Chains A and B, each alone.
Chain A
Amino acid sequence: MLSSIRPKNRVIYAYLLFPVALYVFSVFLPLLTAGYYSLFEWKGGPSKTFIGLENYLGLLNDSLFWESFSHNIYLVIACIIGQVGIAFIFVMMLSSNLVKLKGIHRTFGFFPSTVSAVSIGFIWTMVYDYRRGILNWFLELIGKGDAAKVWLNEPTLVMLLISIPLIWQFIGYYMVILLSATTSIDKEIIESSQIDGASAFQRAIHIVLPLIKNTLLVCITLCVAGNMKAFDHIYVMTKGGPGTSSMVMALYGYTVSFNQQNMGYGSAISIGIFVISLLVIGGAQLLVKTLTREKGEKA
């Protein structure tokens, strides 16, 4: 074989050494380390005591961890409905002949997804601010000034209020992804359905939806993965508060490890997050796959 197509092993390994080392060091080594330290009672100092699986038993009974997990799930569901759902409706609107300024909607709508979570969090903190917030300003404007609140201090509302910026930020992102899928649909299919008298709603459900189901699956997977790792927005907006009303898993691991200096337990939480996220993301993929398959068979 020609040497330039099949270089010597030495050459290959030389090329691969640096990237592989970097990758193993940043991804697998931390996981192993976390697995090791999770077996210790360790407050970050020089001394640590081996306690076996006690941290994990603690984790199973840690209601705060499971509350955080439920908040992650809340965000996943809210964002699948909000982001992918609204994005789909917008795409249906955009692909009708009724809408003007399509390019503007694409460019502007996509913009928030390129902005850092810190900026987005700050902007929405200002929306919800008590004395100088846009929301209270608006309530005053429509004569409902007495409904004004310190919004992010409401334990029952805080998850909803946090999911709104998350949803808003990425609608445009999913909109553009779905739009690229719908534009690749054969125009003739749409036209012939129009001639057959299908309404816009029927077209959306029975023709467009099945044709872009793979892209939709990608969007939902992205959505699940994205919200299992929720951290930045919440850190900026509420730090998990009031109390623990908006605590999510990653933020809980962070708080335990760095604010309470409980590195041993923090490591166990990290392994917990790893396993649970993997299960949820994998489970969601499996679920959506079987669901779309069944639908396809029926149709």
Chain B
Amino acid sequence: MDNNMKKKSGLSLVTRLSNGILSLFTNITLLIFSLSCIFPLIWMFYSSLKEKREFNADIMSLPKSPSFSNYIAILTNKDYRIFESMFNSLRTTVITVTLIVVLGFIVGYILARIKFRGNALLNIMFLMGLLIPIHSLLVPIYVVFNNTGLGNQWFTLIIPYVAFGLPIAIFLVQGFVKAIPIAMEEAAAIDGSSFTRTLFGIIMPICKPILSTVAIVQVFSTWNEFSFALVLMKDRRLWTVPLAMTQFTGQFSSDYTKIMAAMLITMLPVIVFYFIFSKQIIRGMVAGAVKG
């Protein structure tokens, strides 16, 4: 501390000046970036309170007489299917994430702890899942689902979403379980706990940190997934939010304020979720990315 102070007072005017400029420059650069990340939301919000004509006249000005007419128009018209699509997304996301967490945990634990015939094979198979370029399955998966009649059902999307989420979940759980001392299970076994009870009653609670990481990553990727939904879902009543939104923007391509209102309504759950839990979400996403 003392050393630092001495150093600072010893700095010449030129150095201090250039430090000041540097500080100003870095702060402004980062501020511009951060604002650009949040500005679309703000702009979309106040613009959605304008009438179409007012927006077309000046896209940047604040609304002269803010009104929720766009919102009312969207929410009262069932043909727009806003709530329907949000319900579909919510159902798909909740079931998908739950399945990924539970199945990922089970498979990850078994592969990490138990020797059995096929362990190595399964391990390789799921590791391959981390490498396989999933997007190349876009067309083939349509063919398979179409041939088996599994396409276009309310549960259709859950199948590939769970399958695509499993490898990373298994991988993360495996790494975590290997660090748990085996004495844990031995003690449980001596107490007479069955395999299933040990698995869910003792190991699963210990794995909570890694399981919440898995869940966080999957919530966003499932809620936002677009391309497989586009290929697999033809029935409009079953569309998820991203699909419904592309349809909506096509239908109202000239009515931007209405589109903005619809965008904000459908983004609201994610926005609220993000800004309440941003710390945990950021931590979870980073852990998921780096360890994966």
Q: Do A and B come from one complex?
A: yes
A111 to B40 CA separation, bound complex (whole angstroms): 11
Task: Flag whether B162 is at the interface (Cβ < 8 A).
Answer: yes
A93 to B239 CA separation, bound complex (whole angstroms): 43
Chain B contributes a number of interface residues (CB within 8 A of A) equal to: 93
Of the candidates A134, A168, A215, A270, the one whose C-beta lies within 8 Å of that of B138 is A270
* Structural contact, A16 and B110, CB atoms closer than 8 A: yes
* Structural contact, A123 and B44, CB atoms closer than 8 A: yes
A99 to B106 CA separation, bound complex (whole angstroms): 45
Interface string of A147-166 (1 = CB under 8 A from B): 00000000000000000000
Of the candidates A111, A116, A267, A270, the one whose C-beta lies within 8 Å of that of B37 is A111
Quote the shortest CB–CB distance from B11 to chain A (angstroms): 13
* Structural contact, B114 and A7, CB atoms closer than 8 A: yes
Task: Flag whether B73 is at the interface (Cβ < 8 A).
Answer: no
Closest A residue, CB atoms, query B264: A119
A9 to B116 CA separation, bound complex (whole angstroms): 7
Task: Flag whether A85 is at the interface (Cβ < 8 A).
Answer: no
Quote the shortest CB–CB distance from A193 to chain B (angstroms): 14
Instruction: List the one stretch of B24-32, B64-72, B75-83, B204-212 in contact with chain A.
Output: B24-32
* Structural contact, A281 and B140, CB atoms closer than 8 A: no
Of the candidates A16, A22, A99, A271, the one whose C-beta lies within 8 Å of that of B162 is A22
Cβ of A23: which chain B residues have Cβ within 8 Å of it?
125-126, 129, 163, 166-167
Task: Flag whether A115 is at the interface (Cβ < 8 A).
Answer: yes
A206 to B245 CA separation, bound complex (whole angstroms): 47
Given A12-B114, A281-B131, A104:B144 Cβ within 8 A: no
* Structural contact, B137 and A267, CB atoms closer than 8 A: no
Cβ of B289: which chain A residues have Cβ within 8 Å of it?
173, 177, 218, 222
Interface string of A117-128 (1 = CB under 8 A from B): 111001101100
A132 to B255 CA separation, bound complex (whole angstroms): 11
* Structural contact, B285 and A98, CB atoms closer than 8 A: no
Instruction: List the one stretch of A29-37, A54-62, A74-82, A287-295 in contact with chain B.
Output: A29-37
Quote the shortest CB–CB distance from B128 to chain A (angstroms): 8
Closest B residue, CB atoms, query A178: B286
Of the candidates A109, A115, A231, A235, the one whose C-beta lies within 8 Å of that of B34 is A109
* Structural contact, B263 and A16, CB atoms closer than 8 A: no
Quote the shortest CB–CB distance from B234 to chain A (angstroms): 11
* Structural contact, B37 and A109, CB atoms closer than 8 A: yes
* Structural contact, B159 and A22, CB atoms closer than 8 A: yes
* Structural contact, A119 and B246, CB atoms closer than 8 A: no
Quote the shortest CB–CB distance from A56 to chain B (angstroms): 15
Cβ of B142: which chain A residues have Cβ within 8 Å of it?
257-258
Quote the shortest CB–CB distance from B42 to chain A (angstroms): 11
Cβ of A267: which chain B residues have Cβ within 8 Å of it?
139-140, 143
Task: Flag whether B242 is at the interface (Cβ < 8 A).
Answer: yes
Interface string of A217-239 (1 = CB under 8 A from B): 01000100100110110011000
Task: Flag whether B136 is at the interface (Cβ < 8 A).
Answer: yes
Q: Which of B112-169 contact A (CB under 8 A)?
A: 114-117, 122, 125-126, 129, 131-144, 147, 159-160, 162-164, 166-167
* Structural contact, A108 and B132, CB atoms closer than 8 A: no
* Structural contact, B133 and A4, CB atoms closer than 8 A: no
A4 to B196 CA separation, bound complex (whole angstroms): 8
* Structural contact, A258 and B231, CB atoms closer than 8 A: yes
* Structural contact, B59 and A30, CB atoms closer than 8 A: no
* Structural contact, A271 and B55, CB atoms closer than 8 A: no
* Structural contact, A132 and B110, CB atoms closer than 8 A: no
* Structural contact, B159 and A270, CB atoms closer than 8 A: no
* Structural contact, B33 and A37, CB atoms closer than 8 A: no
Cβ of A116: which chain B residues have Cβ within 8 Å of it?
223-224, 226, 241-242, 245, 267, 270
Cβ of B137: which chain A residues have Cβ within 8 Å of it?
26-27, 30-31, 34, 270
A67 to B125 CA separation, bound complex (whole angstroms): 32
Interface string of A239-279 (1 = CB under 8 A from B): 00000000000100110011000010011011101100110
Task: Flag whether B88 is at the interface (Cβ < 8 A).
Answer: no
Please give me the 10 A-B residue pairs with the lowest Cβ-Cβ distance, nearest first: A26-B163, A277-B133, A30-B140, A229-B135, A116-B224, A34-B140, A274-B136, A98-B23, A4-B189, A2-B189
Identify the A interface with B (CB < 8 A): 2-7, 9, 11-12, 15-16, 18-20, 22-27, 29-31, 33-34, 37, 90, 93-94, 96, 98-101, 104-119, 122-123, 125-126, 131-134, 137, 168, 171-173, 176-177, 180-181, 215, 218, 222, 225, 228-229, 231-232, 235-236, 250, 253-254, 257-258, 263, 266-267, 269-271, 273-274, 277-278, 281-282
Told that A4-B194, A23-B126, A111-B274 touch, could you supply 19 new A-B pairs with CB distance under 8 A? Answer: A4-B188, A5-B182, A6-B115, A15-B107, A15-B110, A23-B163, A27-B137, A30-B144, A31-B140, A90-B30, A93-B29, A106-B282, A111-B278, A116-B241, A119-B245, A218-B290, A225-B133, A250-B136, A277-B136
Identify the B interface with A (CB < 8 A): 19, 22-23, 26-27, 29-31, 33-38, 40, 44, 55-56, 59-60, 103-104, 106-107, 110, 114-117, 122, 125-126, 129, 131-144, 147, 159-160, 162-164, 166-167, 182, 185-186, 188-190, 193-198, 220, 223-224, 226-227, 230-231, 241-242, 245-246, 249, 256, 259, 263, 267, 270, 274-275, 278, 281-282, 285-286, 289-290
Q: Pull 19 A–B residue pairs with CB atoms less than 8 Å apart, ordered by A.
A: A12-B116, A19-B103, A27-B134, A33-B147, A109-B34, A112-B37, A114-B220, A115-B224, A117-B224, A118-B245, A137-B60, A177-B289, A180-B290, A229-B133, A231-B226, A236-B246, A263-B139, A270-B138, A274-B132
